[in-house]
């Protein structure tokens, strides 16, 4: 498993009453998993990105406003991959032009890869605005939070094909 993570933030004071920050976070991973035989493995990956812009304004010592916008994107995916191109061709492939599919024999480890692929992506756009008012020992906080979600899911299974046998005798 490899993971790459980074975060950056910048702050700026426009005046005694106005300040702002911008923050970005990125996180990516790749994970290879063997599938019983050295020629086949699964690749799972993710790539997430998060960005935020926030601004504070002090109207008076008792009245403060905070406005914030953020964007989040997650991308989760994976696929079964063949690690040896020698397993492509009419003598191996169940589907012309693709690598060897899966051979499933009850009671034995599976051989090959059925070519499963998946992808799930999500975008979240968030806007918030809060006003805090203090009077004496009382504090009132009012605001709004609006989220907009976009989601996509794509998947394919068995696109390389598979052959199943109920026992070793039927396979032989």
Q: Which residues of 50-84 are buried (b: 16+ CB within 10 A; e: fewer)?
A: bebebbbbeeeeeebeebbebebbbbbbbebebbe
pLDDT digits (tens, 9 = 90+) for 106-135: 887 777 766 677 788 999 999 999 999 999
Beta bridge partners of 80: 42
pLDDT band at 38 (very low <50, low <70, confident <90, very high): low
pLDDT digits (tens, 9 = 90+) for 63-119: 999 999 999 999 888 766 655 566 777 787 787 877 777 788 888 777 776 667 778
The pLDDT value given to residue 90? 79
pTM > 0.75: no
Q: What is the DSSP string of 155-166?
A: EE-STT-EEEES
């Amino acid at each position: 498993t490899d993971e790459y993570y980074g975060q950056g933030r910048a702050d700026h004071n426009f005046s005694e009453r106005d300040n702002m920050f911008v923050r970005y976070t990125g996180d990516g991973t790749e994970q290879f998993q063997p599938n019983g035989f050295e020629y086949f493995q699964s690749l799972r990956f993710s790539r997430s990105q998060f960005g935020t812009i926030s601004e504070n304004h002090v109207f008076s010592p008792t009245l403060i406003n905070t406005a914030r916008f953020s964007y989040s994107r997650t991308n989760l995916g994976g696929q079964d991959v063949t690690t040896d191109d020698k397993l492509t061709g009419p003598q191996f492939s169940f589907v012309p032009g693709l690598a060897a599919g899966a051979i499933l024999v009850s009671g034995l480890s599976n051989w090959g890869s059925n070519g499963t692929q998946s992808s799930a992506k999500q975008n979240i756009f968030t806007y918030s605005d809060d006003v805090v008012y203090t009077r004496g020992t009382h504090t009132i906080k009012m605001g709004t939070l609006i989220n907009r979600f976009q989601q996509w899911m794509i998947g394919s299974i068995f696109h390389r094909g598979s052959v199943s046998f109920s026992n070793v005798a039927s396979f032989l």
